[in-house]
Amino acid sequence: MTTTDMPRKVDAGPGRAVPRKRSRGAASGGLRRAVPATTLLWVLAAVYGFPVLWFVLSSFKPAGDLFSSLTLFPDDPTLSGYKAAWDGANFSQYFINTTIVCVIATILTVGVSCCTGYALAKYDNKWLKVFFVGILATTMLPGEVMLAPQFLVVRDLGLYNSLAGIILPAVLTATGCFMFRQFFLTVPDELIEAARIDGARELSIFLRIMVPISRPIMLTLAILSFQWRWNDYIWPLLMLNDPEKFTVQIGIQSLVGAQNINWSVVLGGSVISMIPLIVVFLVFQRYVMNANINAGLKD
């Protein structure tokens, strides 16, 4: 999971597969096969890309043209939908709220998961074993199953209608703990032993040695956590009733759930909500694609 890992891996796919199929007569046979395979790939890519493309291009059309001129490219590109969403529909506030939730929740998730994962990997006592089973149990009982009781607990803690009420219940994730545990299991125990012999205290071993070397895992989990929190819908919907505290997803849904949908605003707001995730993804692509997302299902 080093920085140089990704480009190699991308090319490794086709590269490693070279001897897979018949190696004789590769030049002429290669072209004959390359054409249908490449065509199929790009037809599929076009089919998958088209909905987003159509959506984004539509968002640049003026409100009056949305239903009348169904051309691919806007005749008269405008940002009016974005302006209406950002100022008029209060998306600027939603955007700030969601960013606050995502950043704080992600920092807490990464920190807490790193501590837990390290403890589970490198120590052994019965309390840890019990807690390990407890974390496993959280994967069996997803939040959707406990909506009502969880709501009551958070309400009784006085966190109803606050951003803290969204952030705190989301911090514990089994995925995060297991990612760190998996990583620290691969770190040799000799490293800890050596530090102990040198007189380092347990927690400073963790903070000075283990935290720095787990940086790739931190980044991967941070990206996943950012995506989960950015896309959360049900829990913020239950927790918030003050429109000033809405997150972006609730903002979009409240527009779409209305009797008469103002599509110009919906399109603008939705595209605004996509931007942070796509930027994060494109910048950190290698960490997402390399991640062992076997465990990283949406949380």
Partner 1 sequence: MTKRAPDVSASPPRRRSKYTLAPLVLIAANVVLFALFFLWPAVIGLVYSFTNYTGVGAFQFIGLDNYQRLFGDSTFFDALTRTLLYTVLFVPLNFVFSLLIANVLVSRHAKGASVARVFFFIPWLLSPIVVGVLWRWLFGENFGLVNYLIEKFGGSAVPWQSNADLSLIVVVVAASWAWTGFSMLLFIAAIKNVPVSYYEAASLDGAGPWRQFVSITLPSIAPTSFIVILLNTIHAMKEYPLFASLNNGGPGTSNNLLVQYIYQTGFKSGQIGYASAASFVLMLILMAVAIIQLVVNRRVENR
17 lines the binding site for partner 1 (CB under 8 A): yes
Angle among Cα 85, 88, 93 to the nearest 5 degrees reads 75
Q: How far apart are the first and last CA of the chain?
A: 23
Member of 27, 199, 259, 260 binding partner 1 (CB under 8 A): 199
Scanning 42-50, 73-81, 82-90, 211-219 for contacts with partner 1 by CB under 8 A, the matching segment is 42-50
| Whole-number Å distance between alpha carbons of 107 and 264 | 35
The three-state DSSP-derived secondary structure of 14-78 is: HHHCCCCCCCCCHHHHHHHHHHHHHHHHHHHHHHHHHHHHHHHHHCCCCHHHCCCCCCCCCCCCC
Nearer to partner 1, 177 or 218 (CB): 177
Total number of residues that touch partner 1 (CB under 8 A): 113
**CB of 2 vs partner 1, minimal distance in Å:** 18
Member of 233, 241, 243, 283 binding partner 1 (CB under 8 A): 233
Scanning 40-48, 77-85, 87-95, 211-219 for contacts with partner 1 by CB under 8 A, the matching segment is 40-48
Scanning 32-40, 73-81, 83-91, 99-107 for contacts with partner 1 by CB under 8 A, the matching segment is 32-40
| Whole-number Å distance between alpha carbons of 53 and 101 | 29
User: From residue 123 to residue 152, what is the string marking binding to partner 1 with x (rule CB under 8 A)?
Assistant: xxx-xx--x--xx-xx-xxx-xxxxxxxxx
User: From residue 274 to residue 293, what is the string marking binding to partner 1 with x (rule CB under 8 A)?
Assistant: x--xx--xx--x--xx---x
Scanning 73-81, 86-94, 122-130, 211-219 for contacts with partner 1 by CB under 8 A, the matching segment is 122-130
Of 75-104, binders to partner 1 (CB under 8 A) are none
**CB of 266 vs partner 1, minimal distance in Å:** 6
Of 234-263, binders to partner 1 (CB under 8 A) are 234, 238, 249, 252-253, 256-257, 263
Member of 8, 55, 96, 241 binding partner 1 (CB under 8 A): 55
**CB of 216 vs partner 1, minimal distance in Å:** 17
**CB of 87 vs partner 1, minimal distance in Å:** 20
**CB of 24 vs partner 1, minimal distance in Å:** 10
Member of 197, 212, 244, 259 binding partner 1 (CB under 8 A): 197
153 lines the binding site for partner 1 (CB under 8 A): yes
- Computed on alpha carbons and rounded to an integer, the radius of gyration of the chain in Å comes to 24
Member of 4, 20, 73, 242 binding partner 1 (CB under 8 A): 20
